[in-house]
A and B are shown apart, each in its own frame.
Chain A
């Protein structure tokens, strides 16, 4: 199974968002979009060109954007907001909480440039806490797709989900390795490879890192189960528990703080139902810095080698 997972080229996940937004704009006339002065970065221009009357440039006022989106949703529209992940969450947390989550508003908070792989702009913009913040909000769905194709499919799928969604994606060109045409099922984990020795649960850009890690481990005779957790909330608990029942140990991998992330969600599920040795690959209570995406992943312990090492370590703990 792993052999068949290959990169067919590179594109950014944010490009997948732009393509998905255009597509869902064509399919659903209630979809509207807003942006806080980052149209180019969010790849929203194609939507704007085709549906200028359904797009609102809000300027550099993210709190206002979230409120306007909540208003549009109140009146039955399906608003997609676009800005960086940092400005989609931390900057507007109270707006997400009161005007959107607590008010049950059908707003799609679409967030680019998440995590270390934002790169050279540095730690001010490299948010590593956004999954935690959004998953704590009652009613919020939290999605972190892994490549261009999956991000496009997720962007389209969330329009049919009635409720607030946090859709997280990134800046850099990244391998494309999921099918061109795919149906995105919110909350349904995807088993990319079956194995019996160790499970790797990965999300976002770390799915590709984990594919590469799994290939190395396989060559060394380890039977790896690789599961793509694109939806962190609601978590596919059935898939998580079924896998660890088989493998008896797991690694989680995410471009996020260990605190509040995917690993923490999986630890919670396993602790409650089936205590399992876990190793968590992620950022350990620190900020990032300027640099190239892969260099940053390596420096902060999110490299392919780090996933391999975590797998070996956790297997020893069985």
Chain B
């Protein structure tokens, strides 16, 4: 069983990394990154069975795919903090000649990233392809994918949802970051997602619910999801989060979806987040 307190200490540092990366770059997406921090930390520090060394093919490893690539700051932080690349490199986020592109990419050879994402709606199909390959190779490891809720407005997601049911892709766990917000406002004001659980159930998926900002619940539901694999249904976790979670003035609003904190705002945010593992240095 994971040490919840230890994981929570990591989340505090990861949230600091998100704030500091986006401040340094004067751009990036802190809102969704902060909201998904608990999920990422649980995944990379407890759930995923994978090598410390990065292998693109991921044979005999669990594999994670980020479909909503704009929340790259949280992924980069967790990848660095779990040893995929030096923590110092976080200071290069969105700078020229960096491996840490604004949206995740394979082109610069960043360990931990297996496909580019940013243009939305594409990650679930890719995760399904990997899951099919694992079945062909009789590799019983799992494939995880995260997408945003606004991203569900992309048609390709539902093409993939049909496919996942038809082919019984039951070695795949999709998580939807259900924070109810997107760039232009609340999902319900932009294009409502309607009854999301009923939609996924109607598409034949095994639906689970999670409070994504409660580490205990995150661990519990991820374990439940894992236990539900291999039973003929793809799995989707509808993960309730608050955009901007952990920083009071960023929390629960879409205003920080794609806006970086200035120096003053950063100081305010960092005062709310304990430095537990040491900040990455800024040269």
Contacts and interface: CB of A to CB of B under 8 A. Distances in A.
Chains A and B belong together in one complex: yes
Interface string B86-109: 000000000000000000011100
B131 interface: yes
A71 B105 contact: no
Interface in A63-118: 63-77, 79, 94-95, 97-99, 102-105
A53 B136 contact: yes
A190 interface: no
Interface size class of chain B, counting residues whose CB lies under 8 Å from the partner chain: 35 or more
A102 B160 CA distance: 21
Contact of B116 (A64, A65, A79, A98): A98
Given A72-B129, A77-B133, A99 B163 contact: no
Nearest to A68: B129
Nearest to B128: A68
B133 A63 contact: no
A71 B136 contact: no
Nearest to A63: B156
Contact of A68 (B57, B105, B117, B132): B132
B134 interface: yes
Interface centre among A63, A67, A79, by most B CB within 10 Å? A67
The interface residues of chain B, by DSSP majority, are classed as: helix
Interface stretch (A54-62, A209-217, A258-266): A54-62
Contacts of B163: 58-59, 61, 64, 68
The interface residues of chain A, by DSSP majority, are classed as: helix
Given A53-B136, A61-B159, A105-B115, A70 B107 contact: no
Contacts of B124: 67
Contacts of A32: 136
A86 B147 CA distance: 28
B155 interface: yes
A71 B123 CA distance: 9
A74 B122 contact: no
B115 A66 contact: no
Contacts of A95: 122, 125, 156
B225 interface: no
A103 to B, nearest CB: 5
A64 B115 contact: no
A32 B156 CA distance: 22
Contact of B129 (A54, A69, A97): A69
Given A56-B167, A77-B136, A64 B59 contact: no
Per CB-CB distance, the 7 closest pairs between chain A and chain B, nearest first, are A71-B129, A67-B125, A75-B133, A61-B159, A64-B159, A68-B129, A71-B126
Interface of B: 56-59, 105-107, 114-119, 121-134, 136-137, 155-156, 159-160, 162-163, 166-167
